[in-house]
Amino acid sequence: EAKKETRGFQTEAKQLLHLMIHSLYSNKEIFLRELVSNASDAVDKLRFEALSNDSLFENDSDLKVTVEFDKEAGTVTVSDNGIGMSRDEVIENLGTIAKSGTSQFFQNLTGDQKKDAHLIGQFGVGFYSAFIVAKEVEVFTRRAGSAASEGVHWTCTGEAEFTVENIEREQRGTTIVLHLKDDEKDFADNWRLRSIIKKYSDHISIPVTMQKVNYDVADDESDKPAKDAAPEYETINSATALWTRSRSDVSDDEYKEFYKHVSHDHADPVVWSHNKVEGKLDYTSLLYVPAKAPFDMYNRDAARGLKLYVQRTFIMDDAEQFLPLYLRFIKGVVDSNDLSLNVSREILQQDPNIDAMRSALTKRVLDMLAKMAKSDAEKYATFWKEFGQVLKEGPAEDFTNREKIAKLLRFSTTHTDKPDQDQSLEDYVSRMKPEQKKIYYVAADNFNTAKSSPHLEIFRKKGIEVLLLSDRIDEWLMGHLVDFDEKSFQDVGKGALDLGELDSEEEKKAQEESAKAHADLIERVKKALDGKVSEVRVTHRLTDSPACLVVSEQDMGAQMRRLLEQAGQ
Ligand code: ADP
Ligand code: MG
């Protein structure tokens, strides 16, 4: 129905809008980046849908974004001839936030504007950033292929509600009009807008155009469009897909801005890797490591994966098949020359070429991380804080790359006795005693319990380093690591600890004697604990504590057992 209706925003949308309006003051100009980014996405989507339905172009295949302004009216307008939106899509896309885990995310907000503004970064800034500078936003849109009468007009002035109504609209695509706040009118300025586009949207692969200025008129008139003539437009950005350019042509800033476009992230990436592969497979990849873990990293339904292009044509977002799950935090683009333009998610799952690309891209990422660890330990430490837990899923999921992943892991150990996970297995091995054959670890619920475990006494006495594990995933990890540098891992809380090779002859003798001497005691303890334990024995692993409980080699670890208990098993 064409009638005008007023609707309330979904609660989460309202919260995001509120945050946007009140907290993102430091960098207001990003609103234009977000709107141009959306316009470019809309053009990508149209191109994709037109692959199977040419008529969607409606005889206008000159795809572009146009930015206009009106100084007197105090407006900035961003238009595209992309896919457009139907009435339902407008309500869905501009009135609600569809991302899974959103409500938990908003429960984490503190009310402290500074902290919360930081959180928005993880969420993605998006369309609502228009409200940083606008007191009113109007959207005029029509979906490609729909009748002119199916146009939609959306308006919003406040934080609580918006209106939608059907309108006549000849033009396919979307026009967004920002009515600038009184103190943001400066944005309605030719040079200002041009420089913002150049700065943030240069990498956008379609033309971002503005009206040409008339250089013939007096200086103070120079930012007004030429009068009396049909307006002429010129392209402001480079308008080539960034990943198709050669590495030496692309500046760090361009890489960073491109990242924000593909990731919908607000912060700069930490590192990236841009590669062209030719030969049996022919593709280009540009992969980024974000600075911050997304709020929904542990949400099974969260979007993940790369943006897939085939011969420069956008095919899909979130193509999951190109990287394993434990690298789900990686963002970026892959552009294939081998895949067919009508490739679907189902086809991706079966195509053997995809497996080859997946293993090559996985290696790329692992190499990029190894390089970062080597060249900038501090940077790597912040990366580890954000994503270490996910990387620990790696050895279980990706047997082939077990050794590569193991090198990337970081642990806290008795070497530093600090909770910071900053020691590599290579560090550990380099400090091993000449006679030592195993890598020892202790696992507990938290760092302090691990650190003060009685199982460590003998190791501390002998000066043997032990990994201190206390993350939920650690025992799972250890179950799959098996060995490193040909040294097996040994849980010091498990089984009869054989430190034989580390004991001197004298110590061995003393141990045998004490076992004999205490045989009586052992019998009595066994009786007293009958049915509660499976074995009692004299141990040499304690120095201060009189006794300790250990699980047998075959049992699951204590931490795993607690995990299962919590899960009600
Ligand atoms: P994101 O771009 O991360 O999806 P945004 O808040 O920027 O989030 O945009 C929300 C949604 O609104 C988009 O996903 C898209 O579906 C829709 N949208 C925004 N701008 C346009 C546009 N110019 N043309 C078509 N759809 C748009
Ligand atoms: Mg967006």
Q: How confident is the model at residue 220 (pLDDT cuts 50, 70, 90)?
A: low
Question: How far apart are the C-alpha atoms of 147 and 144, rounded to whole Å?
Answer: 9
Query: Between helices 474-481 and 558-566, what is the axis angle to 10°?
Result: 130
Q: Give the separation between CA 493 and CA 551, rounded to whole angstroms.
A: 7
Picking from 204, 205, 146, 173, the residue whose alpha carbon sits closest to that of residue 83 is 173
User: What average pLDDT does this structure show over 7-17?
Assistant: 88
Q: How far is the CA of 263 from the centre of ligand 2 (A)?
A: 9
pLDDT for 35 equals 96
340-369 residues labelled b (16+ CB within 10 A) or e (exposed)? eeebeeeebeebeebeebbeebbebbbebb
* pLDDT bucket at 287, cuts 50 / 70 / 90: very high
CA 167 to chain centre: 39
Q: How far is 337 from 340, CA to CA, in rounded Å?
A: 8
pLDDT at 204: 93
Is 498 or 359 the better-scoring residue by pLDDT? 359
Q: What is the pLDDT of residues 43-89, one digit of tens each?
A: 999 999 999 999 999 999 999 999 999 999 999 999 999 999 999 99
pLDDT above 90 coverage of the chain, percent: 66
Position 429 pLDDT exceeds 80: yes
Does 568 have pLDDT greater than 60?
A: no
- Spatial contact of 251 and 260, defined as CB atoms under 8 Å apart: no
DSSP 504: -
- Which pLDDT score is estimated for 482? 86
Task: Give the Cα separation of 383 and 289 in Å (integer).
Answer: 9
Atom of ligand 1 nearest to the CA of 34: 7
Index of the ligand 1 atom closest to the CA of residue 80 = 23
| Residue 470: partners with Cβ closer than 8 Å, 6 or more residues away | 412, 443, 444, 445, 446, 447, 449, 450
Q: Which three-class secondary structure string do you get for 16-56?
A: HHHHHHHHCCCCCCHHHHHHHHHHHHHHHHHHHHHCCCHHH
Instruction: Report the separation in Å between the CA atom of 334 and the middle of ligand 1, taken as the mean of its atom positions.
Output: 22
- The pLDDT-based confidence of 444 (bands split at 50, 70, 90) is very high
Confidence band (pLDDT; 50, 70, 90) for 205?
A: very high
Please give the residue that has the higher pLDDT: either 527 or 545.
Answer: 527
Residue with tokens 């009135």: 95
Tens-digit pLDDT profile for residues 290-319: 999 988 888 888 889 999 999 999 999 999
Query: Is 80 annotated as contributing to ligand binding?
Result: yes
DSSP state of 494: B
Residues 6+ apart with CB under 8 A from 483: 489
pLDDT band at 530 (very low <50, low <70, confident <90, very high): confident
For atom 11 of ligand 1, the residue with the nearest CA is 93
Nearest CA to ligand 1 atom 16: 93
**pLDDT value for 226:** 56
DSSP conformation class of 269: P
Cβ–ligand 1 distance for 17 under 6 Å, the answer no
pLDDT at residue number 291: 94
Any ligand 1 atom below 6 A from CB of 83: yes
For the Cβ of 260 lying below 6 angstroms from any atom of ligand 1, the answer is no
Q: Does the beta carbon of 85 lie inside 6 Å of ligand 1?
A: yes
**152 in Cβ contact with 172 (< 8 Å):** no
The overall average pLDDT reported for the chain is 89
ipTM over 0.95: yes
Residue 153: strand pairing partners: 140, 165
Identify the pLDDT of residue 478. 94
Whole-number pLDDT of residue 495:
64
**CA pair distance 265, 311, nearest whole angstrom:** 25
- On whether the CB atoms of residues 501 and 435 are closer than 8 A, the answer is yes
- Global pTM reads 0.84
Give the per-residue pLDDT at 104: 77
190 is in an annotated binding site: no
Residue 127 Cβ contacting ligand 1 at under 6 Å: yes
The CB of 560 under 6 Å from ligand 1? The reply is: no
Tens of pLDDT along 129-156? 999 999 999 999 999 999 999 999 999 9
Residue 145 is assigned to a ligand binding site? no
